[in-house]
Amino acid sequence: MEDISLDEWEIKLQAKIKELHSCQKQQEVKSCLQCPKIYNCELRDSYVHAVYSSMNKGAGGGFEF
């Protein structure tokens, strides 16, 4: 297996994924969409932000595909 070097944005994303999975387990749901707190969830908002930041490496701006 290859050693994969993660940058700071990917490290932050991995941390948020762990937090999100822990919360889902605690709430006994498999997806945030099944959680009644989804519309006011700071953890999910911070996860979405971490995903966006990992994609653009913190540069801001729009998505370019």
Per-residue model confidence (pLDDT) at position 20: 96
Give the span between the Cα atoms of 51 and 59, in whole angstroms. 13
Per-residue model confidence (pLDDT) at position 58: 65
Domain ranges of the chain: 8-56
Per-residue model confidence (pLDDT) at position 55: 86
| Residues whose CB falls within 8 Å of the CB of residue 47, separated by 6 or more in sequence, listed in order | 16, 17, 19, 20
Per-residue model confidence (pLDDT) at position 65: 46
Q: What is the pLDDT of residues 1-57, one digit of tens each?
A: 455 677 888 999 999 999 999 999 999 999 999 999 999 999 999 999 899 888 877
| Residues whose CB falls within 8 Å of the CB of residue 30, separated by 6 or more in sequence, listed in order | 24
Per-residue model confidence (pLDDT) at position 7: 84
